[in-house]
Structure 1
Amino acid sequence: MYEDFFPQRLAQLRMKKGISARDMSLSIGQANNYINSIENKKTMPSMQSFFYICEFLNITPQEFFDEENKNPEELKAFIEEAKKLDDTSLNYILGIMKKINDKK
């Protein structure tokens, strides 16, 4: 299962960040074709490399494997900002979100 999921998720998150596979490979201290070889299912990262990948993407390993979370970096920022709201403002924002989701 993860043999297919992992490369697809990595490509999705990398492209969302707007960085090439080559630049990401070099940024995490690997050979220039490292990320490309993962995305093409030729290799899987070590645990240490996986943590570097998550750190580079600014997400947790849990967020990486959360298929329903298409925007983990943005959601994390949203939650951090939501924590600063008072109860009234938080409920107002929550109401808006529910209304938007009901229209889908």
Structure 2
Amino acid sequence: MDADYIRNKITELRIKKNVSEHRMSLDLGHSRSYIHGIVTGKSLPSLTEFLYICEYLGVTPKHFFDTDEENPVLITQLVKEATSLSESDLLVLVHLANRLKK
């Protein structure tokens, strides 16, 4: 994993969110070219900015870097919802997931 992965993943998730580089830059409180500078390789975000970018894109850093996940935004949402479920509801969810995989 390298800087190209980070740039490409930001672009992929930004496109899935249907937001422009310009809009994302402004939403994050930066100049309109901030994201463009990242995705073109001119700069990389600081750790703090990376965490804001993940939050903006709706993914956890773990899901951002998981190369096996095709839908990190949906996985993040599912995990967030699952944390408030009771143990019995979690068991139902696990059973359902196993059934859907077949």
Indicate the TM-score class for this superposition, using the shorter chain for normalisation: 0.7 to 0.9
Aligned-partner residue type, residue 36 of structure 1:
H
Native 8 Å contact 2:7 2:41 kept in 1: yes
The 5-angstrom pairing of residues 8-87 of structure 1 reads: 8-83=8-83, 84=85, 87=88
Gaps of 5+ in 2: none
Output the amino acid matched with 1:32: R
Alignment TM-score, normalising by the size of structure 1: 0.76
RMSD of equivalent CA atoms: 2.1
- List, as ranges, runs of 4+ consecutive aligned residues in structure 1 with deviation greater than 4 Å: 89-93
Structure 2 counterpart of 1:24, which letter? M
In 2, the alpha carbon distance for the partners of 1:49 and 1:91 equals: 36
- Tell me the TM-score normalized by structure 2: 0.77
* Cα distance in 1, alignment partners of residues 51 and 96 from structure 2: 35
Amino acid paired to 1:28: L
Matches of 1:22 and 1:95 in 2, distance apart?
Answer: 43
Moved more, 56-65 or 29-38: 56-65
Which consecutive residues of structure 1, in runs of 5 or more, have no partner in the other structure? Answer: none
CA shift, 1:95, in A, is: 4.3
1: distance between equivalents of 2:27 and 2:66? 24
Matched residues in 1 for 2:2 and 2:53: separation?
16
Aligned position for 1:2: 2
- The offset of 1:5, in angstroms, is 0.5
Q: Alignment length, in residue pairs?
A: 101
Seq. identity, %: 33
